[in-house]
Amino acid sequence: MIRLYLFIISLLLLLGNPAGSYADEIKLTARVDNARIEIGNYVRLTIEVHGAFDTDQPDLPDLEDFSLKYGPSVTTQTRIINNAVSVNRGFTYMLVPKTTGTFTIPAATLKYQGKTYTSNPIDIEVTERNPIEERKERENEIDINKRIFIELTTDKEEAYIYEQIIMSFKLFFQKGLPVEDLDYVPPSTKSFLAERLGEERRYEEVRDGILYNVIELRTALFPVVSGNLEIPSAKFKCNILVRQQASRSWDPFEDAFGNSLFNEFLGRKDYRYPVERNTNAVKLLINPLPETDKPADFTGAVGTFTMDVSAKPAKVNVGDPITLTITISGTGNIKTFGEPELKPEGADDFKFYSTEASTKITDKEEGITGVKVFNKVIEPQHENIYATPVVSFSYFDPETEQYRNITREPIPVTVEHSETEIPLRLTMKDVEKKKGQVKILTKDILPIITNVISFKNQSKGLLKRPVFLGFTFLSPLLLVLICVYLQRHRERLQTDTSYVRKRRAVSQAQGKLSDAKKLIHSDTSTELYSMLAKTLTELIADKLNLPPASLTTDNISHTLNTRGVSSETIEELRECLESCDHGRFSIADNTREQMESVFHRTERLIELLERQL
């Protein structure tokens, strides 16, 4: 039967993949279900062959300290992803230790197509059997700690300011362990600009001979200050279902039927075990950017970038606009650096207007990669202009620890003299003021009305109208209802904190906007962006009766989505908060146009949130 199964798999693989290529190379790994057991219990040893399905059974090493009770049980897995075939074969054995102590299961070997492959050795600790109560306490304190743990790491320990750092949070839990109610509290990153990288990753990893399921969350960090920084510990909470049974001795029926039907008859039960884990803090050394050889046009870009420049139209009249489109692509702090510098040969050749910038993140898997586009409008002032200004962009490459400059040569343009000119009149001359005269165009003859009696009031009296009578009788009732409403409103203002916060949320936000508007005309752009972000966050917190500290950039979108706020409003809110963060921490100058744009966007968001919350 096994030969027929292997023949069918090989036939399908050859038809689906004529080249016969596999996604993985041949690899031999070993793992156990538990690296610490008590004497008399068993351990499952699995030897896995990755990348081939027609191999022989691996050769087991000499097991002097264990007895082989069962095996091997053979399993085969085949996956086809993007026309790439991945095949895994597993050989599972049941081993029972002969005595207590710490032992090493040597590496297994496999010979295939003239080559010899070797697995990893595994350490096993065998302890004495404990009484029931001590055993339960030991399992709760030691075994569960080894079955589930977390890690917080970064891809580098030393970096430059604004250099991209990848922070990785990993949850390890033993394969097959039921985990519920996951609650992850990320560390504070107040000295960094943070950007979530893609979706969570799920895969398997062997640690100390034990196979774990891994959930990984990755975040790109950009330090905004230099010095010795510390990322505090991350926190994680969950509940796991711990199964207890009367005996852990080996039973062939248990493996044959998958621990499902016989668990109830053997007295096994499940209970929820709360687990809390904290990672270690991560310490980083952030160096300032070097001042030596620092270009004059450097605007804070750190990473690896390229630049393209285009100009449209190429043929204009004097005073007509030309749009320079400067596209910068690369990996790094794509959102925070300033615009490139234009270097005209003569200061009077062009008239320059404010630059419009837009950012698009194209990849968030291995790091922040994106495109930043600057649209600069220039106007030629005379016809003796033959090219656009030179565009220069400088950035700092942390890999080489050097500043680099990209310069794009002028783009040829044709500037012609305008054929039609409109003279500018500063005074009015030879204008005669004529006095208008009334001119009668025609005359009308009206008939003389002699029946004066017909001019009488045809309508009913006011006291006889139904609307007036209804209003007269209903007014006392309406007055009573209004008084009752005002009284209840006053009582809720005194007793219901949630009601008070929701009623006063918009008025308080508009009052803060009035104070923020005064900051636009001052040089305190950092305070302006902080006030706008705080205004939006406190408005949402008051509307939903939540503490403002509980709303972060990561969870505010999910919170609003559950309350029925439209996806367009949520996306605009996210972009506005990001603009505030970038305005607070960017080393480039914040123009008045940029501050006014973020201010008006905040006003619009307050109106949208007032209607939708």
User: Domain segments of the chain: what residues?
Assistant: 2-127, 133-286, 299-416, 495-612
On the 0-12 / 13-18 / 19+ scale of CB atoms within 10 A, 390 is middle
Q: Residue holding tokens 């790491």?
A: 153
- The token duo for 447 is 């008939």
| Average pLDDT over every residue of 188-204 | 88
Is the pLDDT assigned to residue 403 strictly greater than 90?
A: yes
| Average pLDDT over every residue of 13-38 | 66
Question: Where residue 547 falls among pLDDT bands split at 50, 70, 90?
Answer: confident
For 118, list phi and psi in degrees, rounded to 5: -125, 135
For every residue of 511-542, DSSP letters joined together read HHHHHHHTTTTSS-HHHHHHHHHHHHHHHHHH
For every residue of 333-344, DSSP letters joined together read -TTT--PPEEE-
Q: How many other CB atoms are found less than 10 A from the CB of residue 516?
A: 22
Highest mean pLDDT among 21-35, 83-97, 400-414, 577-591: 400-414
Q: Which residues contact 188 (CB under 8 A, 6 or more apart)?
A: 231, 232
Query: Mapped to the 3 state alphabet, what secondary structure does 37-80 carry?
Result: EECCCCEEEEEEEECCCCCCCCECCCCCCEEEEEEEEEEEEEEE
| Average pLDDT over every residue of 581-587 | 72
Tell me what pLDDT residue 457 has: 57
Tell me what pLDDT residue 21 has: 42
CA distance 50 to 90: 9
Q: Residue holding tokens 């796991």?
A: 240
145-149, 310-314, 492-496: least confident range: 492-496
Average pLDDT, the chain: 79
Q: How many other CB atoms are found less than 10 A from the CB of residue 379?
A: 16
With residue 400 as reference, give the H or E element that holds it.
Answer: none
Identify the residue with better confidence: 14 or 582. Answer: 582
222-236, 318-332, 336-350: least confident range: 336-350
Tell me what pLDDT residue 422 has: 42
Long-range CB contacts for residues 408-411, cutoff 8 Å, separation at least 24 = 408/307, 408/308, 408/309, 411/309, 411/310, 411/311, 411/314, 411/387
**Check whether domain 2-127 has CATH 2.60.40, yes or no:** yes
For 486, list phi and psi in degrees, rounded to 5: -65, -35
Query: Mapped to the 3 state alphabet, what secondary structure does 343-386 carry?
Result: ECCCCCCEEECCCEEEEEEEECCCCCEEEEEEEEEEEECCCCCC
Tell me what pLDDT residue 351 has: 87
Equal fold, 2-127 vs 299-416? yes
Segment 430-477, tens digit of pLDDT: 444 444 445 555 555 555 555 555 555 555 555 666 776 677 777 788
Tell me what pLDDT residue 399 has: 92
| Average pLDDT over every residue of 21-42 | 77
369-380 and 356-363: which strand pairing?
A: antiparallel
For residues 226 and 254, the answer to whether their CB atoms sit within 8 Å is no
b/e for 2-29, b at 16 or more Cβ within 10 A?
A: eeeeeeebeeebeeeeeeeebbeeeebb
Identify the residue with better confidence: 81 or 360. Answer: 360
For 375, list phi and psi in degrees, rounded to 5: -105, 115
Tell me what pLDDT residue 370 has: 92
CA distance 423 to 466: 69
Identify the residue with better confidence: 413 or 365. Answer: 413
b/e for 485-494, b at 16 or more Cβ within 10 A?
A: eeeeeeeeee
| DSSP classification of residue 264 | T
Segment 239-293, tens digit of pLDDT: 877 655 444 444 444 444 444 444 444 444 566 778 888 999 999 999 999 999 8
Q: Which fold has domain 495-612?
A: Four Helix Bundle (Hemerythrin (Met), subunit A) (1.20.120)
Pick the CATH number of 299-416 from 2.30.30.140, 2.102.10.10, 3.40.50.720, 2.60.40.740: 2.60.40.740
Does a cis peptide bond (omega within 30 degrees of 0) precede residue 295?
Answer: no
With residue 206 as reference, give the H or E element that holds it.
Answer: strand 192-207
| Average pLDDT over every residue of 357-376 | 90
Is the pLDDT assigned to residue 211 strictly greater than 80?
A: yes
Identify the residue with better confidence: 491 or 30. Answer: 30
Strand arrangement of the beta sheet that strand 122-127 belongs to = 36-38, 122-127, 101-105
298-312 and 390-397: which strand pairing?
A: parallel
CA distance 58 to 43: 18
Tell me what pLDDT residue 545 has: 82
| DSSP classification of residue 140 | I
Query: Mapped to the 3 state alphabet, what secondary structure does 559-611 carry?
Result: HHHHCCCCHHHHHHHHHHHHHHHHHHHCCCCCCHHHHHHHHHHHHHHHHHHHH
Q: Residue holding tokens 């968001």?
A: 605
Q: How many other CB atoms are found less than 10 A from the CB of residue 211?
A: 17
CA distance 465 to 217: 74
